[in-house]
Amino acid sequence: MPFSLIPHRVLAQYTQVTPALLKKLGVRLLLCDLDYTLAPKSVSRPDGALHAWLEELRAAGVTVMILSNNRSSRRVETFCRDLGIRYVGHAGKPSRRGYREAMAQAGIPPEATAMLGDKLLTDVLGARRSGILALMVEPLGGPVGVWNHVLHLLQRPCKAISKRRCMTL
Ligand SMILES: [Mg+2]
């Protein structure tokens, strides 16, 4: 079982995941974390920028789904209903179960799938264990609370390694 905490790409935020980048990476299914990836946790409904981004990906033939560990099914449900996309809730990342379920629902194999998220120990680790691309973003709206600030600092070295590798590709 592969074990790596190094994301394949680190981006400032989700809007940098463009149809052109996904085409280059061969990605047809994009699994997205919700909190701090597509919206700060304090935001309860998707905004216009998120709708527009999703529309661009849809038009390019990319399937987008949410893969969330959020304890509130209502929050994930509301977001996905507004966006018109499917989701796997209580995903238990970094377990491979949710990743497999999402890929099975979409009918798209691991080679054409990527995970987009802000946390190494859940989003990135689960993606690497599942054999899919791990795209990492900085926490949207910035880290909130002491624990998230500490986590953010601890994640820095792995992100730095990823950025160095990308520059030498
Ligand atoms: Mg998150």
Q: How is the chain split into domains, by residue range?
A: 9-168
Mean pLDDT score across all residues of the chain: 93
Sign of the Cα pseudo-torsion (84, 104, 95, 10, in order): negative
pLDDT band of 166, cuts 50, 70, 90:
confident
pLDDT at 169 over 90: no
Options 2.60.40.1760, 3.40.50.1000, 2.40.30.10, 2.60.40.1930; which CATH number does 9-168 get?
Answer: 3.40.50.1000
Residue 158 Cα to ligand 1 midpoint, Å, equals: 17
Q: Residue range 23-48: average pLDDT?
A: 95
Residue 56 Cα to ligand 1 midpoint, Å, equals: 22
Pull the structure tokens for residue 133. 């691309």
Determine if the pTM surpasses 0.85: yes
Question: What integer pLDDT is reported at residue 1 of this predicted model?
Answer: 55
pLDDT at 142 over 90: no
Task: Measure the CA–CA gap between 47 and 82, rounded to whole angstroms.
Answer: 10
Q: Residue range 100-115: average pLDDT?
A: 98
Residue 34 Cα to ligand 1 midpoint, Å, equals: 6
Question: What integer pLDDT is reported at residue 168 of this predicted model?
Answer: 60
Q: Residue range 118-135: average pLDDT?
A: 96
Residue 69 Cα to ligand 1 midpoint, Å, equals: 8
Residue 135 Cα to ligand 1 midpoint, Å, equals: 12
Task: Measure the CA–CA gap between 87 and 101, rounded to whole angstroms.
Answer: 10
Question: What integer pLDDT is reported at residue 130 of this predicted model?
Answer: 97
Q: Residue range 86-105: average pLDDT?
A: 96
